[in-house]
Structure 1
Amino acid sequence: MGHGGDVIAELTADHQEVEELFAKIQGLPSGDPRKKNYADQATMELVRHSVAEESYLYPAVREHVPQGDALADQELREHAEAERTMKELEGCAADDPRFDELMMRLMNEIRSHVADEENNLFPRLREACSADMLNKLGDKVRQAKKMAPTRPHPSAPDTPPANKLLAPGMGLVDRLRDAMTGRGKD
């Protein structure tokens, strides 16, 4: 969950972690119950990652990157789309006929989003911000991920200040639910 380094290194490591989970899912046959476990793990990581980006990365992009508002708005639209897919997926068992279709949709949404961030947004942010600022953002993102929800909440606010106020409470409830059900454990 926390990798270290500046915000770009932290978020890129998250991207790689989720891609590894996607590869595990793709390597299993349709209906294999392990697919659901990996999907839950991926969802948990993606939700924490998204909440941290929405709380700290996108406000920094708006403030420091030329045309940052448009970039941040596009990223938020992509997050909302993926979150709706994760919410649908949450209710599916691995042997549900919709599971593989929803999982493929989510993987496509996330891979497209990651490519855009890593090839467009991150280089522009690195150019616009000092190393010190990027390191401080990395620290804030790591802290936010610790308190963030682990389940999709498509109707929750995705911009400050409301998201920063509500995310820790939703995160606590989600982590309690996960602990009680064993969700996301190997």
Structure 2
Amino acid sequence: MGHGGDVIQELTADHREVDEMFAKFDDAEPGSPDRKRLVDALTIELVRHSVAEEMYLYPAVREHLAEGDALADKEIEDHGRVERLLKGLEMQEAIDPDFDRMVRELRTEVTAHVDDEENHLFTQLRHHLPQQPALDELGEKVREAKKTAPTRPHPGAPSTPPANKLLAPGLGLVDRARDYVTGRGK
């Protein structure tokens, strides 16, 4: 699915990419290096996506939706659980006994989060924010944020503005340098 459009279209395209990565993981031979490579790619996508949501989507949720603070806090809490799982998987190899179990747990968390966003949060946003320019501007901000976002989990990093907007690009630069040196994500 191509990227572009408003914030909901952009994030939904990310969700479909993650679905495809999980399907490819299922098709890969258990214990194979392909499974580790797919989890690395999944980690990169999920971290970039989460950081961008925390930088731009959730502040908009807080500002424009009734009970926006509670909604944003719940979504950020979901991200925290996913990020801790990703951090654990970062230390695992595909042959490790807990690897597949941890990926199943990750998939359960991600699927529940995506379902909640797509069936509740996005519907409310579309109803309460005007397409032009708010949703389109948020889409562009999210796309830009993903370009400089970290590619590895940092569970201790701030998840709300302004601290996340200040630190994420620096963490992203360090992560991309590490990825380049190690060949991760290619």
Same-fold status (TM-score > 0.5):
yes
User: What does residue 182 of structure 1 align with?
Assistant: 183
Write the deviation string for residues 40-93 of structure 1: whole angstroms up to 9, x where unpaired.
001000000000000000000000011111110100000000000000000001
Structure 2 residue aligned with 1:139:
140
**RMSD of aligned alpha carbons:** 1.1
TM-score, scaled relative to structure 1: 0.98
Alignment-derived partner of residue 11 in structure 1:
11
Q: What's 1:168 paired with?
A: 169
1:45 corresponds in structure 2 to 45
Name the CA distance, whole Å, in 1 between partners of 2:46 and 2:82. 9
Which letter maps to 2:29?
P
State the aligned residue count.
Answer: 185
1:30 CA drift (Å): 1.6
Q: TM-score, normalized by length of structure 2?
A: 0.98
Aligned pairs for 1:116-135 (under 5 A) are 116-131=116-131, 132-135=133-136
Partner in structure 1 of residue 94 of structure 2: 94
Aligned amino acid, residue 74 of structure 2: Q
Deviation at 1:29, TM superposition (A): 2.7
User: Do 1:2 and 1:142's aligned partners in 2 also have CA atoms closer than 8 Å?
Assistant: no
Task: Give the secondary-structure state (helix, strand or coil) at the position aligned to 2:92.
Answer: coil
* Secondary structure at 1:29 match in 2: coil
What is the distance in 2 between the residues matched to 1:4 and 1:25?
A: 26
Following TM superposition, where does structure 1 have runs of at least 4 consecutive aligned residues deviating by more than 2 angstroms?
none
Contact 1:62 1:68 in 2 (8 A): yes
Letter in 1 for 2:100: D
Q: Residue 151 of structure 1 aligns with which residue?
A: 152
Moved more, 106-115 or 21-30: 21-30
Offset of residue 37 of structure 1: 0.3
Q: 5+ unaligned residues in a row in structure 1: which ranges?
A: none
For 2:95 and 2:16, the matched residues in 1 are separated by: 27
Deviations 1:8-62 (A, max 9, x none): 0000000000110000001123201100001000100000000000000000000
